[in-house]
Amino acid sequence: MRRVLITGVTGYLGASIAEKLITEGIDVIGLKRETSDIWRCIDFAKEIEWVNIDESGGWKSIIIDKLPTEIIHCAWIGVEAAERNNWVLQLKNVNFLSDLLEIAQSININKLIFVGSQAEYGNISGKITENEVPKACNAYGGTKLACLEILKAFCDPRQINWIWLRLFSVFGEKESENWLIPSVINKMQNEDEMDFTKGEQKYAYLYIKDFVEMMTSILSKKIISGIYNVSSDEVLPISMVVEQIRDLVNPEFKLNFGALPYRSFQPMHLEGDMSKLVAQIGRPRFTSFKEALRKTVSYYISK
């Protein structure tokens, strides 16, 4: 029987993956802190085998006793923009990775799936393949790359299947409200206008439910160990994204495009080439951005 350990299970990605796996009849072991807010998991919390990382008896031995068959590592310390250049904070993730590898070494683990980031590529612009040489430009991206090298050095000599997912922009229900789409929705519900850049930068926004469908395939299929981009293939300028939100939330809302300057090294086209992953799992069935946005807006408005 498949038993999947998910780190970061109370976060946006982890909770979404856990919900999908549970509906597929897969046992989920969820690692959390005593103070973690499980609001994203509240509808299926009873279906998760919770392990408290603050457990005095030793959380690693508890997980080893539960014998997970795969690990999906979503947890990361320091994901907010203000934390991404804090080296002391970011390097704590290396220690946590070491703990997970200690667990993997103690049991017959089948697969390790880690959520990386497009930030590993650094200041990029365009449709990026995995052949792009990573040039991380902050502590967040640099530490992700360090963890990738540690993972490869651990797994390859032990012939453990490892998958490193370089995730591009994701959105949808239950996202943290300080990210772009939910923050714009909230602003449009409560104010009359908002300042933006010119909005010419193009992003390939991937719907969260499409991401978890891909994750299910990655988990269940035989995939060659390696790095894989995860991205939508529908690219839209931010101005169009914001206009579509306005039309759904408050058509009278004033959009002040050009009122703000672009930040330094602003990428103007951020998209991952998915060809490598498609060759392994087949082409995903993407929800159109318009439909995914409609569902997302409906979720936030109904809260």
Show the domains of the chain with their CATH numbers: 3-170+206-233+273-281 (3.40.50.720), 174-203+234-269+286-302 (3.90.25.10)
Position 2 scores a pLDDT of: 93
The answer, yes or no, to whether residue 75 has pLDDT greater than 80, is: yes
Rounded CA-CA distance 13/15 in Å is 6
pLDDT band of 231, cuts 50, 70, 90: very high
The answer, yes or no, to whether residue 56 has pLDDT greater than 90, is: no
Position 303 scores a pLDDT of: 80
Position 100 scores a pLDDT of: 97
Non-local (6+) Cβ contacts of 41 within 8 A are 9, 10, 15, 18, 19, 30, 48
Question: Mean of the pLDDT values across residues 262-267?
Answer: 89
Q: With pLDDT > 70 as the criterion, what percentage of the chain qualifies? A: 99
Position 55 scores a pLDDT of: 76
Position 264 scores a pLDDT of: 86
Using alpha carbons only, give the angle 246, 250, 254 rounded to the nearest 5 degrees. 65
pTM here is 0.96
The answer, yes or no, to whether residue 57 has pLDDT greater than 90, is: no
Position 223 scores a pLDDT of: 97
Amino acid, single-letter form, for residue 256: N
pLDDT band of 207, cuts 50, 70, 90: very high
Position 11 scores a pLDDT of: 98
Q: Which of 78-82, 101-105, 132-136 has the least mean pLDDT?
A: 78-82
Strand partners, 32: 52
Position 226 scores a pLDDT of: 99
Position 217 scores a pLDDT of: 98
Position 1 scores a pLDDT of: 85
The Cα-based distances of 241 to 117, 182, 184, 195, 206 in angstroms read 22, 12, 10, 14, 13
